[in-house]
């Protein structure tokens, strides 16, 4: 047991020059915090995890809705670039999005996501200023939707309808709604009395609060907020831990898992490329 704890300590906090291992350590820490948070919810509500009422159809639809948000997020990057008279192929745009999603999840306050997204674009030959602008506008439009209620703003500022800004906003709106709606098939399968509008609205509130959470991926904050808000609609309080686990997985964790697999590979390839360039010099 002592050897295992020593290994775990060195793995999580040991010094290493490998970016891949650093990301892996942070990812493991993110999973540990998430697991501890779910365990805390289970103990508080004195309920276990019961997935027997969740159908495969609901799981497949929920997963597809969640992951499809990555497509719209990638298209948003390409649309922003197009208005700047640049063209970003789908592959670097997708990798940039996945890098930002993954590192935002495993760093405090999500601080690592933007730098990695920018780094990936520059490795594909795009100028640093251009990559920073893309990252800034992505964040701006997500915040616009979450904090300002962009749909209401469009009513009062109709001139936006005449510009490409509307397209950026609509794509942002679609990707977030898809991500928030991913859990809805599970809600229907479990028979909870939560409407789709309530589900999306509550998640917008939670996501807005999460921008100020210091834990990786807002783990803990999200779980407890979700338990408090969604618990109103769940009659059997023992099943709250089950819902929170499924909600977090389909609205967030599934995206991070997929992005993590891709980004580990991308970072490894960039490292190999750097070594090759060093040898050639």
CA atoms within 13 A on the CB side of 38: 18
Where is mean pLDDT largest: 74-78, 202-206, 215-219, 271-275? 74-78
Whether 239 and 46 have beta carbons less than 8 Å apart is answered as no
Please write the tens of the pLDDT for every residue from 33-53: 777 877 888 887 777 788 888
* Residue-number span of the structural domain to which 161 is assigned: 55-271
Q: What is the pLDDT of residue 64?
A: 92
Q: Are 209 and 225 in contact (CB under 8 A)?
A: yes
Q: Note whether residue 105 is domain-resident.
A: yes
pTM of the model: 0.71
- Higher-confidence residue of 123 and 1: namely 123
pLDDT value at 11 more than 50: no
Q: Is the pLDDT of residue 16 over 50?
A: no
Q: How many CA atoms lie within 13 A of 48 on its CB side?
A: 3
Q: At what angle do helices 90-106 and 254-280 cross, to 10 degrees?
A: 110
Q: Which residues contact 166 (CB under 8 A, 6 or more apart)?
A: 154, 160
In this structure, is residue 194 part of a structural domain?
yes
53, two tokens? 């009422």
C-alpha 184/C-alpha 116 separation (Å) is: 31
Q: H or E stretch including 214? A: none
Domains of the chain: total: 1
């Amino acid at each position: 047991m002592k050897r295992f704890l020593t290994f775990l300590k060195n793995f999580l906090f040991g010094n290493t020059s490998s970016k891949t291992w650093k990301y892996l350590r942070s990812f493991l820490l993110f999973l540990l915090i998430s697991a501890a948070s779910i365990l805390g919810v289970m103990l508080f509500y004195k309920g276990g995890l019961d997935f027997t009422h969740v159908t495969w159809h609901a799981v497949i639809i929920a997963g597809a809705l969640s992951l499809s948000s990555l497509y719209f997020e990638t298209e948003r990057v390409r649309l922003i670039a197009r208005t700047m008279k640049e063209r970003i192929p789908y592959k670097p745009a997708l990798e940039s999005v996945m890098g930002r999603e993954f590192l935002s999840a495993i760093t405090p306050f999500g601080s690592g996501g933007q730098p990695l997204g920018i780094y990936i674009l520059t490795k594909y030959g795009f100028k640093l200023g251009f990559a920073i602008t893309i990252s800034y506008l992505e964040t701006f439009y997500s915040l616009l939707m979450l904090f300002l209620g962009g749909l209401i703003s469009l009513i009062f500022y109709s001139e936006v309808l005449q510009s490409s800004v509307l397209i950026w906003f609509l794509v942002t709106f679609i990707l977030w709604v898809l991500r928030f709606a991913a859990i809805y098939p599970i809600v229907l399968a479990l028979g909870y009395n939560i409407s789709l509008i309530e589900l999306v609205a509550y998640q917008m509130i939670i996501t807005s609060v999460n921008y100020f959470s210091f834990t990786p991926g807002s783990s803990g904050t999200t779980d407890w907020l979700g338990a408090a808000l969604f618990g109103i609609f769940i009659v059997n309080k023992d099943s709250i831990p089950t819902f929170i686990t499924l909600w977090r997985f389909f609205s967030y964790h599934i995206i991070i898992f997929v992005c993590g697999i891709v980004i580990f590979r991308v970072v490894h390839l960039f490292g190999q490329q750097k070594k090759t360039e060093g040898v050639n010099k």
